[in-house]
Structure 1
């Protein structure tokens, strides 16, 4: 290899994300828009053919309303797209589903998690061989295990090492795609208040507590600085699709025992791929570890206490919140206010793999960044790409017939589809990504300030964020809990 080639190999290559598809059913219009416009068009045509005049005026509220609902945007969406969200919110409000109170008198059924909403159906299963906690979702038909990850600071590595680690992570995702039995992979990076246990342990091992002035000063600094700090924790959750793996589960004995055996095989393969990518997986999280993670998400104030005293809060039967109050754009739990942001647009220009550093390294804010990766089988991905190509070409032909000019956004979307087809042909896996950021703060005012800081950090990372509304409780369960939940 020549010196020039060696230099190029050590350079960090930039990447570009595909744009969020915005193609509708016809001419960029969604199904809801087409139905609404059709109702208005029928009313308008009937009035015209039945004599116009008074009928035209009488039907004007119908077709005028259909135009407003279909084309007037509010908060980045057309009004008609807000209708199902609003109706569901009103229905939940009438049904009293926006408030949750834990029943401390009547215990939860054995094996279930003490979580609110639709997460109350989740069940616990302890793998007898590894001791890992496996969480079953009977509605989504998944079985999930969680592993902790330790890794060096990516931004401090040289460009060659960063490029090598990016390639290694790509091989990990390719392993997930080739499996065919994995429903989702969730990567969570969260900031939690530090209990200071690390500093205390260091002082216990290396310090000289002789009651001298330096020793007393050191102890006071450790007691004050420890709880005031924060640490970053990374977990990866692996969800097995019980429907897809039904044959293998029956071959392994059936039931939860067979499902656990199949998931254990996926866990072993996944852990091997992580080590090959220079990521160090810890032991798979036990029920106690999962309970602490759930309790800390809903009650951040107790997180340092749970970390300092390792025997407290390690029961999944009591890991849920005591009370939850959901409002339109935020959530109130035991000791904190929360809000969930959705990364609605990834960088449109060329960026380097460390582009999320401004968002992930923001200090002084308690937040959880979650990336939900949904692998797509190669045959399903190929059909989806063909469908997108046909749709884009058909829309272009329709616009040409009516005299519309092709804009750069649609051309860029078509180029993204061609690039995805090329990557799939080259043997790469296809995954759908959903980025969520759960922000927590002790008060409503502090939450607003933290959200403003996160939004500014997202701008620096070339991302666009939108606060989710009408579904904060479900979004929080997907963003802050390492259970591979979806919205």
Structure 2
């Protein structure tokens, strides 16, 4: 991603790189090339062995292979969707696509009651800060969650907006430069609100106007409340950071090493807190066990449970059923969209405004930044350059015409290399949107509504298929989990 700032009152503009479309041959992936090659071999053998009749008889075989190589479903080629579909089918046969809590078999203390691969997560409470620390024994990471408060960005002046963008970029640069941060997740949750709180506050605080001008202002404000209170929403911003930690069970570590690991994450928390303060972002608190447990419970039980959860041991869902492109959990239906393409033209830093402030939709926007080491980034850049040169040579050999998309991808790779050589951090961003509704019909309407909003933002979204349960955990919960 590149930045360009102009003089005057124009806000900071950003431009995102295109999603690489390189492949093994002429932009085709290895699996697509294999299908085309097998189809050609099958068709050739059938012609030479049985003539036209054999060619027609083998048509379902080579035709099916060509269909796998070129037919798309949900934005993905069929052959590239096969591994996901096979894994989903196997999990269905093994009944791993459904989760039920067992009251008669309580979970061990210190484990999070989450379904799927998230069941391996452990937690502990830091005695010094009171924060709940989530431990992933497989990845070897420790995660803490911060509740952040901030002013409305769109109401700030252009100069203040530029300053806020610069401050946030320094926060990300600080996390990447520390070498400890494995992943950083920004989660913006939006829940429709009846507006009763705002209306009730106005009725209590309102006094008799002392002048005609004040009376007119109060009348206009009441009309504004009557119009927009039914479409009000509650916003909450969370930042989760995952740092390098020990593998295996954290509770069985020796006391000295366990203290060392806790000191490391406390240091990262202090660094993030000072960076947020410099960026004019107010750290409300680090989420403790009861706060994180209540957040997990309300995410799965959208019907506002009568008794809030107090322990992460029991805060998970009661029942989860995963389907191809949606998931059923307790009292709601959810579906996760992946932002497959970011804007290709210069846009302002608030380009996601239409998605964030889409009315009457329960949703959460998760943007995960994964820092890449300079060595890994250079290796990826070199591989992309080699793939581009090889693809260009293949096109020239067969006489194919190169299009502007190829040169645009190469320019993005070169811009990324220049930024890396200039000392900037390299981050890999992943955007996920979780939509939740009470019925499947409402969920489909919400998906269509947000997809239209994404187009207005200059983004392209893709409804994930065959991995909704894992995507829901990664996108709806502030656990900084990767989506493989």
Aligned match of 2:128: 129
Whether the aligned pair in 2 keeps the contact of 1:10 and 1:163 (CA below 8 Å) is no
Matched residue SS, 1:475: helix
SS of the counterpart of 1:164? helix
Q: CA deviation at 1:71?
A: 2.0
CA 1:473–1:47 in 2, change beyond 3 Å: closer, same or farther? Answer: same
SS state of the match for residue 129, structure 1? coil
1:392-411 map, 5 Å: 392-411=388-407
- Pick closer, same or farther for the CA change 1:426–1:325 going to 2, 3 Å: same
156-165 or 29-38: which moved more?
29-38
Matched residue, 2:474:
478
Change (3 A) 1:8 1:480: same
Please report how far the alpha carbon of residue 46 of structure 1 lies from its aligned counterpart in structure 2 after TM superposition: 4.8
1:325 is aligned, of 321, 328, 335, to 321
Residue pair 2:6, 2:12 contacting (<8 A) in 1 also: no
Indicate the residue corresponding to 2:216 in structure 1: none
Q: Tell me how far 1:201 sits from its aligned partner.
A: 10
Aligned mates of 1:198, 1:168 — CA distance in 2 = 33
Number of the residue aligned with 1:110: 109
Structure 2: state its 5+ residue gaps: 208-224, 248-252
Count of residues paired in the alignment: 455
RMSD: 2.9
Q: Distance in 2 between matches of 1:252 and 1:272?
A: 29
Task: Classify the secondary structure of the residue corresponding to 1:143.
Answer: strand
TM-score (norm 2): 0.87
Closer, same or farther in 2 for the Cα pair 1:227/1:108, shift >3 Å?
Answer: farther
The one of 368, 374, 377 aligned to 2:373:
377
- Kept in 1: contact 2:46–2:58 (CA 8 A): yes
Q: Shift in Å at residue 195 of structure 1?
A: 9.1
Q: Is the 8 A contact 2:123 2:133 kept in 1?
A: yes
Change (3 A) 1:352 1:325: same
Q: Which residue of 1 aligns with 2:341?
A: 345
Task: Output aligned runs, 1:249-328, within 5 Å.
Answer: 253-254=256-257, 256-302=258-304, 305=306, 312-328=308-324
Contact 1:184–1:373, Cα closer than 8 Å, also in 2: yes
Distance in 2, Cα, partners of 1:228 & 1:51? 69
Q: TM-score normalized by structure 1?
A: 0.86
Q: How does 1:351-390 map to 2 (within 5 A)?
A: 351-390=347-386
Q: How does 1:117-266 map to 2 (within 5 A)?
A: 117-192=116-191, 230-242=233-245, 253-254=256-257, 256-266=258-268
Shift of 1:64: 3.2
Is the CA contact (8 Å cut-off) linking 2:368 and 2:431 kept in structure 1? yes
List, as ranges, runs of 4+ consecutive aligned residues in structure 1 with deviation greater than 4 Å. 44-61, 193-208, 225-229
Q: 1:252 Cα deviation (Å)?
A: 9.6
Q: Is the 8 A contact 2:192 2:360 kept in 1?
A: no
C-alpha distance in 1, partners of 2:352/2:255? 42
Task: Find out whether 1:80 has 2:83 as its counterpart.
Answer: no
CA distance in 2, matches of 1:197, 1:146: 29
**How far apart are residue 62 of structure 1 and its match?**
3.8
The alpha-carbon deviation at position 243 of structure 1 amounts to 6.7
Comparing 127-136 with 58-67, greater Cα deviation is found at 58-67
Residue aligning to 1:17: 16
Match of 2:454 in 1: 458
1:391 offset after TM fit, Å? 1.1
Equivalent-residue separation in structure 2 for 1:466 and 1:188 (angstroms): 19
> Deviations for 1:372-413, whole angstroms, at most 9, x for unmatched residues?
111111121112112111211111111111101001111111
Counterpart Cα distance in 2 of 1:379 and 1:200: 56
Measure the CA separation in 2 of the matches of 1:423 and 1:237: 26
Structure 1 residue aligned with 2:250: none
Q: Secondary structure at the match of 1:300?
A: coil
Q: In the TM superposition, what is the alpha-carbon distance from 1:192 to its structure 2 partner?
A: 3.1
Q: Deviations over 1:435-472 (max 9, x none)?
A: 11111111222222222221121122111111111111
Q: Is residue 339–residue 440 contact of structure 1 (8 Å, CA) maintained in 2? A: yes
Q: Could you tell me which residue of structure 2 aligns to residue 212 of structure 1?
A: none
Matched residue, 1:215: none
Q: Does the 8 A contact of 1:298 with 1:336 survive in 2?
A: yes
